[in-house]
């Protein structure tokens, strides 16, 4: 039996789709508040008859912070895909991030050890690899350094990885993947997918930053291949290409029939922006721009994917193709809503 945590998120839903397409029966953990209609929407974007595949999914209500529900979910489970996690770059979410990404992962690892699970795949992030110097390329050997420049999200994902390595030392076979920014259709106002809804509204400016990007379909496929292999005790950077923010924003804008940004922003503008947002928080407004986001937008991150390419002889979907795929689904959904 296979268990997927975080089954209603961007990675989780696409992993469920990929597993069910392979005829696998899957047990999926979801919280009471999870949007189940979103899961069916994702399946429907890829399949004419989504219910045919959804019947392979057995849902269990629970939470990675609830050990009792985890034990129930892991009953007779042999492999676990741990996709559950909280994403935020707001330092005010520190407690929640550490609670879910560190303690939640510890709960999964401990329960898996107690019940004799055969293998775990943990979805981490390139953020857990630590900050790089401008122009430095990051791979799996990059050394984490404690620094005030590390976002609280990065700290929480690094802490989660440490729980997985502890579990591995105690006898739990495990692999970790470190995806870069994931491109794929899901809830349009959440996480990296929010890029599409934001740019659809109009983005006149861009920054000088560079980052790694990867199609969510690649993330799901690589997870499955790693779990079906004999590989254990390894981590892998999962990133298709390093692209400038200008290129990514421009490509998304074109797919959405919007004008590409023409105004270039400079670092001091970002600093001024997050300070203003911080002041507005005092008056009860949730910030859309934080210090971590502002600074990252001007940093140049380069990621080396050669380890996973060699291990699986893998060929990634090009970033422009990933953008076109997700953007076309976004536009179809917009047309559907405007026509209803």
Interatomic CA distance for residues 44 and 50, integer angstroms: 5
CA torsion angle 173 101 176 289 (round to 10): 180
Q: Residue 287: pLDDT above 50?
A: no
Q: How confident is the model at residue 2 (pLDDT cuts 50, 70, 90)?
A: very high
Domains in the chain, CATH or no CATH each: 2-185+212-244+302-320 (3.40.50.720)
Q: How confident is the model at residue 285 (pLDDT cuts 50, 70, 90)?
A: very low
State mean pLDDT over 309-337: 95
Q: Residue 279: pLDDT above 80?
A: no
Q: Which of 47-51, 288-292, 326-330 has the lowest mean pLDDT?
A: 288-292
Interatomic CA distance for residues 93 and 200, integer angstroms: 27
- Segment 131-180, tens digit of pLDDT: 777 678 999 998 888 877 778 889 999 999 999 999 999 999 999 999 99
Q: Residue 270: pLDDT above 80?
A: no
Specify the pLDDT at position 294: 52
Average pLDDT, the chain: 87
Interatomic CA distance for residues 90 and 185, integer angstroms: 24
Interatomic CA distance for residues 9 and 30, integer angstroms: 10
Range ranked top by mean pLDDT from 200-209, 211-220, 291-300: 211-220
Q: Residue 254: pLDDT above 90?
A: yes
Q: How confident is the model at residue 289 (pLDDT cuts 50, 70, 90)?
A: very low
Interatomic CA distance for residues 81 and 237, integer angstroms: 17
Specify the pLDDT at position 296: 62
Q: How confident is the model at residue 41 (pLDDT cuts 50, 70, 90)?
A: very high
Q: Residue 290: pLDDT above 50?
A: no
Specify the pLDDT at position 109: 97
SS3 letters across the chain: CEEEECCCCHHHHHHHHHHHHCCCCEEEEECCCCCHHHHHHHHHHHCCCHHHHHCCEEEEECCCCCHHHHHHHCCCCCEEEECCCCCCCCHHHHHHHHHHHHHHHHHHHHHHHHHCCCEEEEECCHHHHCCCCCCCEECCCCCCCCCCCCCHHHHHHHHHHHHHHHHHHCCCCEEEEEECEEECCCCCCCHHHHHHHHHHHCCCEECCCEEEEEEHHHHHHHHHHHHCCCCCCEEEEECCEEEEHHHHHHHHHHHCCCCCCCEECCHHHHHHHHHHHHHHHCCCCCCCCCHHHHHHCCCECEECCHHHHHHHCCCCCCHHHHHHHHHHHHHHHHHHHHHC
Q: Residue 190: pLDDT above 50?
A: yes
Interatomic CA distance for residues 138 and 132, integer angstroms: 7
- Segment 191-207, tens digit of pLDDT: 888 889 888 988 777 77
- In angstroms, the Cα distances linking 204 to 135, 157, 219, 250, 328 are 26, 32, 31, 10, 21
Specify the pLDDT at position 297: 66
pTM: 0.89
């Amino acid at each position: 039996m296979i268990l997927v945590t975080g089954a209603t998120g961007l990675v989780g839903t696409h992993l469920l789709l990929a597993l069910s397409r392979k005829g696998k029966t899957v047990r999926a953990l979801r919280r009471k508040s999870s949007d189940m209609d979103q899961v069916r929407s994702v399946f429907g974007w890829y399949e004419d008859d989504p219910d045919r595949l959804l019947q392979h999914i057995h849902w269990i209500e629970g939470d990675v912070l609830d050990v009792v529900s985890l034990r129930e979910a892991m009953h007779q489970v042999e492999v676990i895909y741990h996709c559950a996690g909280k994403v935020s770059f707001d330092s005010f979410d520190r407690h929640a991030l550490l609670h879910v990404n560190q303690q939640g992962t510890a709960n999964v690892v401990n329960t898996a050890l107690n019940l004799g699970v055969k293998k775990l795949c943990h979805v981490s992030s390139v953020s857990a690899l630590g900050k790089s110097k401008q122009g430095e390329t990051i791979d799996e050997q990059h050394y984490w350094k404690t620094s005030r420049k590390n976002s609280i999200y990065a700290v929480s994902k690094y802490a989660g990885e440490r729980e997985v390595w502890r579990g591995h030392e105690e006898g739990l076979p495990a692999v970790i993947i470190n995806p870069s920014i994931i491109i794929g259709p899901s809830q349009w106002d959440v996480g990296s997918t929010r890029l599409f809804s934001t740019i659809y509204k109009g983005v006149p400016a861009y920054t000088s930053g560079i980052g790694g990007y990867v199609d969510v379909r690649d993330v799901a496929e690589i997870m499955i291949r790693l779990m079906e292999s004999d590989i254990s005790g390894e981590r892998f950077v999962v990133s298709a290409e390093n692209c400038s923010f200008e290129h990514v924003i421009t490509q998304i804008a074109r797919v959405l029939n919007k004008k590409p940004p023409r105004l270039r922003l400079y670092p001091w503008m970002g600093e001024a922006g997050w300070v203003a947002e911080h002041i507005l928080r005092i008056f009860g407004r949730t910030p859309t721009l934080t210090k971590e986001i502002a600074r990252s937008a001007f940093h140049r991150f380069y990621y080396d994917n050669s380890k996973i390419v060699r291990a699986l002889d893998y060929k990634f979907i090009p970033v422009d193709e990933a953008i076109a795929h997700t953007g076309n689904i976004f536009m179809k959904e917009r047309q559907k809503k405007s026509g209803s």
